[in-house]
Amino acid sequence: MNMKLKKILIISGIAVFAVTALLVTTAAIGYSIAIQKPSMRFLLSNSGFRTPTDYTKKEIFIDVSGEKISVMAYRHPRVKSNRYFVLQHGLTPEANKHPRINLFAASLCDATGMNVLIPAVKGSVEGATIEKTYNRMSQIYVTLVKKFPGRYRAFGACISANILLVALNRVPPEIYPEKIFMLGPFFSGKGLFDFFNKIAKPEDIDIMVKMALTLNMDIYTEKEKSLIRRAIAASKPGTTDRSEMKKILGRKLYNDIAVVRLHHRDFEAISPGVMFGKNRSANCKYFILHSKTDNIIPFFEGRNLSDFMKKSGISTNFLGSEYLEHAQNQVSVTGFLKEMKYLIRFFDELFEGDVER
First to last CA, the chain: 60
Q: What mean pLDDT, rounded, does the chain reach?
A: 82
User: How many CB atoms lie under 10 A from the CB of residue 175?
Assistant: 15
Distance from C-alpha of 119 to C-alpha of 70, rounded to nearest angstrom: 6
pTM here? 0.81
Q: Is 339 helix (H, G, I), strand (E, B) or coil?
A: helix
Is residue 11 a contact partner of residue 292, using CB atoms and an 8 Å limit? Answer: no
**Between these two residues, 48 and 352, which has the higher pLDDT value?**
352
- Region 326-333: mean pLDDT is 50
Choose between 135 and 126: higher pLDDT: 135
Q: What are phi and psi of 308, to 5 degrees?
A: -60, -45
DSSP state of 176: S
Secondary structure of residue 208 in the 3-state scheme: helix
- The whole-angstrom separation of Cα 132 and Cα 351 is 32
Q: What is the mean pLDDT of residues 94-98?
A: 81
| Residue range 186-207: mean pLDDT, rounded | 79
Classify each residue of 7-29 as buried b or exposed e, where b means 16 or more C-beta atoms within 10 Å of its C-beta.
Answer: eeeeeeeeeeeeeeeeeeeeeee
> How far apart are the C-alpha atoms of 156 and 6, rounded to whole Å?
65
The CB density around residue 204, as the number of other CB atoms within 10 Å, is 9
Q: Is the pLDDT of residue 329 over 70?
A: no
pLDDT mean over 208-220: 76
pLDDT per residue as tens digits for the range 102-112: 999 999 999 99
Over residues 263-277, the pLDDT tens digits come to 777 888 888 888 987
Residue in 191, 196, 198 with CA at minimum distance from that of residue 212: 196
**For the sheet containing 56-64, what is the strand order?**
56-64, 67-75, 115-119, 83-88, 151-157, 179-183, 285-291, 316-321
The predicted model gives 278-289 an average pLDDT of 82
User: Are 17 and 71 in contact, with CB atoms under 8 Å apart?
Assistant: no
pLDDT at 24 over 50: no
Triad 74, 275, 120: Cα angle to 5°: 30
HEC string for 229-244: HHHHHHCCCCCCCHHH
- The pLDDT score that the predictor gives to residue 166 is 92
pLDDT at 74 over 60: yes
Query: Which pLDDT band, with edges at 50, 70 and 90, does 92 fall under?
Result: low
Q: What is the mean pLDDT of residues 229-246?
A: 77
